[in-house]
Copies of this chain bind each other. A is one copy, B any other.
């Protein structure tokens, strides 16, 4: 027999609704009755039943995270666990529970989302990645359920999202390299279908342009997120011309580039990675990389979503999280 609000009411000599008001910290309850009720609660070791509250309130105070299907490699970078931590730090602060689910493909993701929504389990949903033409996003828009995306979605209007300023991040990296005296700077990016890649590439181009440095097509390569592809891409560039620096859009690519450069072994070429994965500090030379502050991204995502859920009329629909260049041996 669980102790309920009625038991407390009886002991405190008040009505159940009064107890309910005390729980909700309703301002128009006299201090005296409050005390009475608290005492009764303590005496009976009462704890509100959150399920019952949720049913009556039509709100679960729960956020659902959709962990995307992704290549194993991406699991090497602590992105997910960090984002989840950030989300939970803010969520817990605001009294929210966090749920998550894994999916093997986009269809399963949509299934989980609709399950979460239809069954009324979650007040809001967090997508950990923004793809082009994302079915999760279109579904969520369609059913008009609160959600937030980590990464910049295609149509940023009417959508909550958080991301880094990828243009600026790369712009700054390249500018920094130029200031250190580098002139022939190569670029190896991930798939150009991703917004991230495009943005970072633009940053690269603009930074060179701003300093009056011509862009050399031979120094630009697009490839996949893997060490091997990075290695191949670097090799190809080296066959054309020896740069004095190379920027990449991912640490994995940078690892491959480092390897290719080491094999040449004559020249000192600066290398910069992206995402500051754990392995970056373990390369030789240790790899300079851009930290994208994943935990912060998660934190901000939760904040945006919870504000929306609670109808805080903030005008912002996105946050930009600052990146940080972590300099290591590869650019010394």
A49 within 8 A of B: yes
A92 within 8 A of B: yes
CB distance from A309 to the nearest CB of B (A): 16
CB distance from A136 to the nearest CB of B (A): 17
Copies of this chain per assembly? 2
Evaluate contact between A101 and B98: CB separation under 8 angstroms. yes
A276 within 8 A of B: no
Evaluate contact between B51 and A120: CB separation under 8 angstroms. yes
The range of chain A's interface size is 35 or more
CB closest residue in chain B, given A114: B47
CB closest residue in chain B, given A121: B50
Chain B residues with Cβ below 8 Å from A80 are 81
Q: How far is the CA of A102 from the CA of B81 in the complex (A)?
A: 11
Chain B residues with Cβ below 8 Å from A48 are 119
Evaluate contact between B100 and A121: CB separation under 8 angstroms. no
Evaluate contact between B89 and A102: CB separation under 8 angstroms. yes
CB closest residue in chain B, given A81: B81
Q: Which 6 A/B pairs are nearest by Cβ-Cβ distance?
A: A47-B118, A50-B119, A81-B81, A88-B102, A76-B278, A51-B54
